[in-house]
């Protein structure tokens, strides 16, 4: 298998006016046999098209909240910041990748973005909109499972990590609410929150709400998610 080049959207630090990357995203892809590349922030259509020509797949990582106007809702909470320039880049790149049917993996903000782009919406703040005893925003260390999800049988995800109960880490305050048209639920948390979605009509589109980039060194199923993604991205010999 040729090593696929995988573009990772940048993480943006608004206070420092910079973009950066957590090593787990890159190291997870490296461990799975991919070549990760952090993309620069841009909304230039020509550059975005060139990204799609250069990269074999794209990872949409965690980050700021998706701006609620993208799912036609007013902002109901100031619990976390948004970054509309990153939203614009993410939407434009997602659309370019979809047109070329490039594989995409969404983690945390990534699954939320996918759901919004398929016409779904989000819980803007789980503690207030969906209060439960399940802890969705754990403290370090982040490679320790904090709650369970049920991976549904006969799904794309169950083909990667198996069906049944799976203990995951969790670092989020927003989540998928109403699932977008065309997405299929892959896993649900113990308190009913959608934790994974996929599009069966794409070569590879998977979103997970937990953080395999924090756990892949200890958890074989976290590594398996990266491995399945990298395999889908691998260019033909």
Residues with a catalytic annotation lie at 108, 211, 213
**C-alpha span between 95 and 39 (Å, rounded):** 16
Helix, strand, or coil (residue 70)? helix
Report strand pairing: 164-168 vs 147-151.
antiparallel
Report strand pairing: 205-208 vs 104-107.
parallel
Under 8 Å CB-to-CB from 112, ≥6 apart: which residues?
66, 106, 122, 174, 175, 176, 207, 209
Q: What are phi and psi of 86, to 5 degrees?
A: -65, -35
Helix, strand, or coil (residue 7)? strand
């Amino acid at each position: 298998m040729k090593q696929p080049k995988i573009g990772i959207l940048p993480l943006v630090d608004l206070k420092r006016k910079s973009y950066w990357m957590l090593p787990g995203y890159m190291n997870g892809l490296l461990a799975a046999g991919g070549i990760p590349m952090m993309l620069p922030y841009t909304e230039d259509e020509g550059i975005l098209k060139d990204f799609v020509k250069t990269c074999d797949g794209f990872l949409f990582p965690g980050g700021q909240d998706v701006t609620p106007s993208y799912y036609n809702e007013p902002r109901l909470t100031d619990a976390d910041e948004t970054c509309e320039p990153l939203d614009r880049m993410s939407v434009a790149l997602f659309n370019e990748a979809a047109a070329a049917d490039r594989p995409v993996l969404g983690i945390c903000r990534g699954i939320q973005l996918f759901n919004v782009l398929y016409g779904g919406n989000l819980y803007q703040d789980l503690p207030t909109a969906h209060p439960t005893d399940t802890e969705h925003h754990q403290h370090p260390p982040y490679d320790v499972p904090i709650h369970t999800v049920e991976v549904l049988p006969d799904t794309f995800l169950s083909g990667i990590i198996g069906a049944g109960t799976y203990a995951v880490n969790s670092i989020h305050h927003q989540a998928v609410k109403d699932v977008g048209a065309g997405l299929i639920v892959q896993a649900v948390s113990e308190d009913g929150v959608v934790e994974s979605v996929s599009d069966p009509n794409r070569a590879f589109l998977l979103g997970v709400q937990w953080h395999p980039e924090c756990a892949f060194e200890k958890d074989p199923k976290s590594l398996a998610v990266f491995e399945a993604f990298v395999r889908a991205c691998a260019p033909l010999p």
